[in-house]
C-alpha cells in the first residue's frame, strides 16, 4: 500500500512539473520549449508586478591552452 501511495505521488508530480525547456530545445521541440518559457515568464511578471529585465547573451569561455606542450606529446608518444 505504501508503494502505491508513492507511485500516485510521483505520477501527480510528473503531471504538474513542466518538461525542461532546455531538454525540449535540444531534442528539436523548440516551439514547445518556447511556450513553456513564455508561460513561466508571464507567471513571474504577474507575481512580481514588474516586467522582467532583458536577457543577456551567454558568455563564451576563453579558449584553453594546454599547461605544457611536452605533456601532450608524452601522452601521445611516450619516450622509452
Domain that holds residue 36: 20-49
Please write the tens of the pLDDT for every residue from 2-28: 788 889 999 999 888 878 888 888 888
Question: For residue 71, is pLDDT > 60?
Answer: no
Instruction: Please name the residue that has the C-alpha cell 501511495.
Output: 5
Residue 6 belongs to a domain: no
Residue 39 belongs to a domain: yes
Residue 44 belongs to a domain: yes
Q: How many domains does the chain have?
A: 1
Residue 24 belongs to a domain: yes
Residue 62 belongs to a domain: no
Please give the grid coordinates belonging to residue 58. 551567454
Contact between 46 and 37 under an 8 Å Cβ cutoff? The reply is no
Q: How many Å separate Cα 77 from the centre of its chain? A: 39
Please write the tens of the pLDDT for every residue from 21-45: 888 888 888 899 999 989 999 999 9
Please give the grid coordinates belonging to residue 23. 531538454
Per-residue pLDDT band for 72 (boundaries 50, 70, 90) equals low
Question: For residue 70, is pLDDT > 70?
Answer: no
Amino acid at each position: 500500500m505504501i508503494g502505491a501511495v508513492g507511485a500516485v505521488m510521483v505520477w501527480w508530480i510528473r503531471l504538474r512539473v513542466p518538461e525542461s525547456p532546455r531538454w525540449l530545445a535540444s531534442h528539436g521541440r523548440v516551439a514547445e520549449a518556447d511556450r513553456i518559457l513564455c508561460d513561466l515568464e508571464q507567471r513571474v511578471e504577474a507575481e512580481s508586478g514588474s516586467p522582467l529585465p532583458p536577457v543577456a547573451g551567454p558568455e563564451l569561455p576563453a579558449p584553453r591552452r594546454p599547461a605544457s606542450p611536452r605533456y601532450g606529446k608524452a601522452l601521445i608518444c611516450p619516450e622509452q
